[in-house]
Every structure is written in structure tokens, then in C-alpha cells.
Structure 1
Amino acid sequence: MAASTLARRIARLEAIEEVNQLIGRYAQGADRQNDPALMAPLFSRDAIWEARGFGRYEGRDEVARELARIGEEQIVWSLHYMTAPVVEIDADLLQGRARWHLWELAQVREPHDGAAPPAAHWMGGEYDTRVVLEEGRWYFASVLLDMRLIHRHDAAWFPRGRTGRTA
């Protein structure tokens, strides 16, 4: 095996690990009510964040500001489990894709009833992101969150998305 091939393989593995660390830091920031001081440094300058029911935001500052607003107004407490990450780094070692599942315990305030206390919810979804290497550091360039389940835990459980019959 040529030394350059080994060096590329090592660089790719290091990039995958750095992107996994990025995902972990995202979860930590999200669990602190989307603290903008923790979230903003995770996104490229022109990043896009989008989730049905929560909105689409463009640019690092807007993404951080709006995620913080969601953490203050809607999801007032959370515990994120980012599971089964799949990180693919492109051949140029400058960009890639990361996908993973979200399992989240949360206290959610209903938007139409600000007077009611937040209620316990189970949340689940799938993240599909693009990542980029800029100035030696990995960032999210785009984050698409497909929420498959937002369920008040004291009610009947009906996931969104794929349908199937149970016996």
C-alpha cells in the first residue's frame, strides 16, 4: 500500500471522527435550550437548517437565533440521543454527508396555549446533513430534520411517516 493511500485513508477516518464529534456537540447545545453560544460555531456562515413544523433558517446567525427561540418558546427542556450515525466523506476530503436518527425526551410548550405548563413528549426523527471543511474545521452546511414522531407521552402513540400494520 502506497504511503499516500494510507495517508488519505487516515485523513478520511479522522474526518469521520471529527464529524461524529460535531454531531455530539450539536446534541449538547440542543440539550441546553439550543444555546446560541454552543450552536453557532457548529454551522458554516451560509448554513441552512430546516425541519417541518419548526421552519427553515439560512445563515449561521439566523440558524443560531431561531434555534435558541425554539428552545425558549417551544422545546423548553430536552435530552437528545443521536443514534446510528452514518458519515460519508467525499473523495476530495472537503465535504460530506452525515445522517443519523434522533430519539429525544422533551418538555414541549404548546404554541397555541402559552399559559399551559410544558408537557412531556417523546420525539423521534432522522437528520440528513451536509458537512464542509473550512479553515481546517468541520461545519454543518445544511441540516434537514425529518421529525417522524412528536408525541405527548400521556396520549396514544401514533408515529408519523412510514405506515405499516401490526399483527
Structure 2
Amino acid sequence: YCDICDDLHNPDRIASVFAKDGIWEGGEFGQAKGHEAIRHLFSGFRDQFSFSQHNIMNPIIEVDGDRATGSWYIVGPWDDAKQNKKIWMTAKYNDDYVKVGGEWKYQHLRVEIRFVAGR
């Protein structure tokens, strides 16, 4: 997921890591459910953020059969091209995963923004 975000938020690649009815929930950055809505949301991010670097740490993952939960902390720089600003953000990801056809997919990815500098 983070590699895809740092690849200019590639909408098709992003949708591919979510279950068909998966949800991306990002607070002030919006929410989308399902592949088409996620593609549309990330197309906008592609226009807004000309650079991002997701630095992920402290993973906590719990697996229960074909379902799992995970939490991660993120800190990183973003170049907000629309506002012509460089920002730093910290956040926590709280995720639900589901195994589909032998592959792990996001069922629900939640971004809990904690701090933004440079706005």
C-alpha cells in the first residue's frame, strides 16, 4: 500500500489491494467504498500530491483464520501541489484485512491523522 501511495497514488494499483467492497477512510482526506470509488479518490490524490514518502513503523498484526487486523504508525513528508506547500504528517493506520482467493486484501483501512506541520 505505501509503495503504491509513493508511486504517485496509482489509482489502479491502489484498488487492487482492497477487497471489492473495501473501504478507505482518511478523515479530512475523504472516504471511499469499493474499487471504483477508491480509484476516483486516489485519482484526486494523484493531482494533489506530487510527492509523498510513507515511513511505516511499529506494526502490530493479529491473524484469525482468513481475517486479520493491523495497526501501524506513519511519519512522512508530502508535497501538496494544489496548495503549493510542503507538509509533514504523522498518523496511525488501523486496518482490517481479509483473505480473498489466497491473497490478503484491505477490508477497511482507517487513517487517524495525529499531526500535520506546514499547513
- TM-score range (shorter-chain normalised) is over 0.9
Question: 2:109 is aligned with what amino acid?
Answer: V
- Aligned to 1:76, which of 42, 45, 50? 50
RMSD: 1.5
The normalised TM-score by structure 2 is 0.92
Offset at residue 36 of structure 1 (A): 1.4
Higher strand share: 2
The structure richer in helix per residue is 1
Question: What TM-score results when the alignment is normalised by the length of structure 1?
Answer: 0.67
One-letter identity of the residue aligned with 1:42: V
Identity across the alignment (%): 21
Q: Any idea what SS the aligned residue of 1:34 has?
A: coil
Structure-1 separation of matches of 2:56 and 2:42: 17
Matched, 1:47 2:19: no
- Aligned-residue offset at 1:40: 1.4
What do the CA deviations read for 1:78-125 (whole angstroms, capped 9, x no partner)? 0111111111101xx10010110011111114xxxx5x6x22111110
Q: Given that residues 34 and 64 in structure 1 are in contact (C-alpha distance below 8 angstroms), is that contact kept between their aligned partners in structure 2? A: no
Larger Rg: 1
1:7-46 to structure 2, matched below 5 A, reads: 26-46=1-21
For residues 146 and 65 of structure 1, the distance between their equivalents in structure 2, rounded to whole angstroms, comes to 21
Residue 41 (structure 2) pairs with residue 66 (structure 1): yes
SS in 2 for 1:53: helix
Question: The residue matched to 2:8 in structure 1 has which SS?
Answer: coil
- Per-residue CA deviation, residues 124-167 of structure 1 (Å, 9 max, x unaligned), is 10000100001100000001101111211xx8xxxxxxxxxxxx
Write the distance in 1 (CA, Å) between the matches of 2:58 and 2:40.
28
Equivalenced residues, count = 119
**Gap regions ≥5 residues in structure 2:** none
Q: For each residue in 1:17-41, what CA deviation from the matched residue of structure 2 results, as whole angstroms up to 9, or x when unmatched?
A: xxxxxxxxx1111011210132111
Cα offset for 1:64?
A: 2.4
